[in-house]
Structure formats: structure tokens, C-alpha cells
Structure 1
Amino acid sequence: MSLPLIDVRAWRQFIMVAEELHFGRAALRLNMTQPPLTQAIAGLERHLGVRLFDRNKRHVQLTPAGAALLPQAQDLVARALALPEQARAAASGEVGRLRLAFVSTVGFGGLPGWVRKFRATSPGVRLELTEATGDVQLQWLRDGRIDAGIVLHAHEEPAPPGIARQTIGQEPLWLALPQAHPLAKAKTLSFEQVAGEPLVLFPRAILPAVYDGLQACYAAAGQPLKVEQEAIQMQTIVNLVSAELGLAWVPKSVSQLQRAGVVYRELQETPYLPVCETSVMWVASQETPVLNRWLQVLGETRS
């Protein structure tokens, strides 16, 4: 019967003899008798087609081939012995990779804390972060380019087909105003005061339900959306407000972005004004142990 090339037991026997340079002592360490060990080493040598030991009745010495193979055999056996623990760690999500995309708004909110906690509890997981809008994330999920995405959407907006979603938090829309704007001096604002103002707004494609909610809110007040300028990133929107191109509706968390020339105001209760919801989404049929550990961290820190 031929000996498999990757036979951990045979290589472990070789290592013991190489370390002891004595078949009797090596056999004791292996809890076996000497004759089967001698036969096993001879069989390994026949299989390899090289001699691993020079031996006679007085001494045992590694051949150059045996000395060259010893470090590799030790590494092979060490990695083989580690496989069961690695398998358990992979099954529990303690090791692996998580490819995560996120919208820019969570950078002002919970993302730093979530990442710190996940890295502290799962140091064996490689976390790969990419910023992207929700529409891009959805395509990446379907293409298998990411494992999960953190998105912004309207409260109670249904998840896309085939996509699972877990809510992380909710927040209202606040208004960003140029500091030089006359309304910026007011401590409280009503929707009627700002409804006729030009806006810097995100494109409908990246937040369709929030955009439609705003449009409905303006329609209820008898006003159209006066979009002066569109921008995708919230940082860019705030910068354009600073340039006095218009007012902007932003999630409350963005108010942590302090930009010279910009102030933030919470409006008095406004009917139809949409509420923003932050969620993590993933392909429903592709949950993994690593992803489940990430979802657990988010569930423990939901705002």
C-alpha cells in the first residue's frame, strides 16, 4: 500500500526521530514500540525515494535531505494540529473576512464605535470597509462584491426583494443653513418659513423614499422642491450650503460635521417630513458566521 504524500502521522514520526536521533527514545515519545517506528521511517524513505537518516548500531544522523525537510515537516505538522481549532473558529465567525460598505452619514454616527467593538471582540476577522451610496451597495451585494452594507432609507421603507435588513437606528431630518442666511439667527423654525427656499439636495436615485417624502411634504404645503444643486456626499452638501447655494435637509447625525459658515436647526413638528432609518442589509440567502457576529455587535449598540 502506497503512503500518502501528506501523512501527518508519518511526518510526526520522522520529526521525533530527527529530534532524538535515537529510535528507542523517539518510540517512547510516540507511545509505540521501536520496530513499527523503524518500519514507518523506512516506508517514508521508500515513498520519497531518498534516505532521511544515516544509521547503524551506534548512531543515527540526518542526511542532508532529512535536515532540509525537517523544518518543513515541523511546520506541516503544526499547521495540521491547528486545523481543528481553526475550523471551530471559522464556524463561530472568530476568523475570516467581512467586506462591508457604508453610507457617509454613519461616519458621523455609530460607525466608529461599531468598528472598535467588532475589532475588539473579533480580532481574527479582517474587516474591509468601503464607502458607497445605498444604490451602489445594493448592486454590489447582488454581484457578491460585499457581504453587507449599511444604508440610509426612509422609515418603514420595505427592503428590496431577496435582501434581509436589520434596523440600527432612526433620526429626523434637520436643516443646514448658511450662517449668513436671515433664518439662521432664529432658534426655532417652522416648515412654512423655509418651504420657498432653494435647496442643495441629494439625487433621488440614492435615497428615493426620503426624496419622495420630502416632495410630498412640500406638496402638502403647496410648494415645489426648488433644487438649486444636487450632490451625493453629505460632506459635499454641507460645503455647498456654506457656499450659500441653498439650504439642505440632512440627517441629524450630520450636524456633528462642523463647517464654517453653516448652522443646523431642528424644525418644529412638520407633518409628512420623512424620518431617516439606518439599517444593515445583506443577501438573505448568504448569511455567514462572520456576518452574524457583525449583526450581533450592531444589535447590541442599536440607537
Structure 2
Amino acid sequence: MIDEEITLKKLEIFLAFMRLGSLARVSEEVGQSVVSVHRALHSLEEGLRCQLFAREGRKLTAQPAAFALATHAQRAVNEAEEGIRKVREIAGFNSGRLRIGSLYSLTLRCIPHLLMGLKLRRTELHVDLTLGSNKDLLQGLADGRLDAVVIGLQAPSDDGRLIAVPLFEDEVRLAAPLGSPYAGARQVDLRQLRHEQWITLGAGFVTSDSFNHAFRQAGFAPETAMQVGDIFSLINLVGSGMGYSLLPARVAEYSARIELIPLAAPYASHQVISLLMLKSRERDPNLLALAAESRMFDNARDKR
């Protein structure tokens, strides 16, 4: 059993001394008197029942046992801090940092709007933004590497572990270079483009899922000239005349070199852009603020 004299606070003081090598400097760092620091180190030795330091007057010299303890003590303190952080998150006590994941295509208007509103609500909050595909972001949320994600869904989430807050609905359209044979059309029938070449996003992106869904409705497999890993490269390749693609309407402002043309009704596809967060975290004040800002974004679009 661990002796009652061995506490995390004493281990923190011990680690500070091993790092700074001075009782006075440790005293300043931990906000305790030199006498209290010295007493903590001595009682730690008593609890361990072995000598950690050799004493030469007021000077303490670390012994081999102290260096051995330092490695394990640092792990113990780190694990305790991480455990406390996770327990506070589960219990709804917020931290000063929020890790948000988003699709690349939402960084023009949606994400900046959410982040600015969130910072007004919680000025002390630091935000880490991670960009990626639906698949990667959802995995990050499940693994605890992300606190919330803003992604596109083709259907409402049926995962009982998640809370979804819809922001807006987006229409998937034909992305064509300017001056294409389909320029200015009110809508296009995908079957008319059976012999065209196509550029797609890699698997895991909601736009890739929308692409596959539309062509299943059209009843043929498109001739894919290239597959890319980000939506900006895809937009540039389409604008250069390398091929056609299907993209959400929200990307229109990313390039003046492409035209987004509505699809005929049988191939119509929509994405619901939604904030997703774990139900176990629904009381977290930071996430409550983000959810409130997301609902305001939805309401603001409805009034336009």
C-alpha cells in the first residue's frame, strides 16, 4: 500500500526541485515557504522509507533513488492531470480550450462565423481547429481527440451517442468549367454527361458520398479521370477544364472559374451541415455556447 505521506502535491514539489535544483526557486514556483518545501521533501522520504537527497548544510543533492523516482513520479502526475481533465469534461466542467473539427469547404463563411460568435460568448476560450474528411473527423470525435465537429450529413444521424444541431442544408450541383456546353442551363440531366470525364474527392468525404449517390440514381458509373484529397484542388482542376464534378453550392465563392449548375430532380442530393458532439458532454459550457451559436447561424439563414 502507498504510505499516506506520499501525495501528488508532494510529488509535484519533488519534481519541481529535481527540475530547478533550488529550494528558493521551488518556493517561488509553488507559492509555499522554503520551510514548507523542505518539509514536503523530507516527509516524502519518510513515506518512501529511503533517502532521496544527501544534505550538505542547506544544500540538497539528489541521490540515484531520486532520479529513479522522478521518472515514475512524472508519469503519475501526468496521468492524474489527464484523468482530472477528462472527469471534469464528463461532469460538464469546461476547460479553457475547445477542439473543433470541420470540413475544408466550411472555412469561407460558416466556421469563421461560428468561431467569432463563440469568442464573443466566451472570450477566454482558446480554439483548436482541425480540418479533414467526415470519416477522419468522426473518428477524432469518437477517440476524444476532438470535442465537436461540423460536417455534412446525407441523412440525420442515428447514433444515440451523439447530439446533432443542424446549421443549414446545401444542394449538390454539377461543377463545370466556365464556357462548358452546359453553361447557363437551368438544370442538367446526368445521363447527358455519360461520356464526360470526372474528378472526385477521395472516400470519407460527404461530397464523395453525394457523388456516388447521384450516379447510382443516374444508373451508370462515371469515367473518373482523377481522385484528389481536398476540395480546393478539385475546384482548381475543374476550373482548368480537366473534367467535371459534383460539388455543394457553398463552394461557389471559392472560384470564379467554375459554374455550379442544378441537377435534374431524379439526381438531386442535399447535405445537412450539422454540429455533432457527444451526448455525454452536453452539459459542457463551452459546447453549450457552440451549440447556441450554431442555432443562431441556422436562424439567421432562415431569415434571409
TM-score (norm 1): 0.62
Residue number in structure 2 paired with 1:295: 291
Task: Quote the offset at 1:195 in angstroms.
Answer: 4.4
Q: Does the Cα contact within 8 Å between 2:133 and 2:204 map onto a contact in 1?
A: no
Question: How far apart, in 2, do the equivalents of 1:262 and 1:48 lie?
Answer: 70
> Is the aligned partner of 1:216 residue 2:213?
no
Q: Deviation at 1:285?
A: 1.7
Give me the whole-angstrom Cα distance separating, in 2, the residues matched to 1:48 and 1:107.
52
Is the partner of 2:120 in helix, strand or coil? Answer: helix
Residue 266 of structure 1 and its aligned partner are, at CA, apart by 2.7
Separation (CA, whole Å) in 2 of partners of 1:125 and 1:91: 15
- Letter matched to residue 249 of structure 2: K
Aligned residue-pair number: 214
CA RMSD of aligned residues (A): 3.0
8 A contact 2:211–2:246 mirrored in 1: no
Shift of 1:123: 0.4
Matched, 1:193 2:205: no
Are the structure 2 counterparts of residues 125 and 152 from structure 1 closer, same or farther at C-alpha, using a change threshold of 3 Å?
A: same
Report 1:145-160 matches (<5 A). Answer: 145-154=145-154, 156-160=155-159
Q: Which runs of 5+ in 2 are unaligned?
A: 1-8, 10-32, 38-87
1:270 pairs with 257, 265, 270, which one?
Answer: 265
Take 1:149 and 1:235, find their aligned partners in 2: how far apart are those partners? 20
Q: In the alignment, which of 278, 283, 294 is matched to residue 278 of structure 2? A: 283
- Determine which structure has more spread, i.e. the larger CA radius of gyration: 1
Unmatched runs of 5 consecutive residues or more in structure 1: 1-5, 7-44, 50-86
1:133 aligns to 2:128 (yes or no)? no
Aligned to 2:144: 144
Distance (whole Å) between structure 2 residues aligned to residue 213 and residue 178 of structure 1: 22
Partner of 1:205: 204
Q: Are the counterparts in 2 of residues 101 and 148 from structure 1 also a CA contact under 8 Å?
A: yes
Q: CA deviation at 1:111?
A: 1.5
C-alpha deviation, 1:131, in angstroms: 1.0
Deviation at 1:196, TM superposition (A): 3.8
Aligned-partner SS, 2:125: strand
Q: Residue 109 of structure 2 aligns to a residue in which SS?
A: coil
Q: Name the aligned partner's letter for residue 227 of structure 1.
A: T
Cα distance, 1:96 vs structure 2: 2.1
Q: Matches of 1:137 and 1:256 in 2, distance apart?
A: 24
Tell whether the 8 Å contact from 1:102 to 1:151 is kept in structure 2 after alignment: yes
What SS does the corresponding residue of 1:128 show, helix, strand or coil? strand
Aligned partner of residue 150 in structure 2, secondary structure: strand
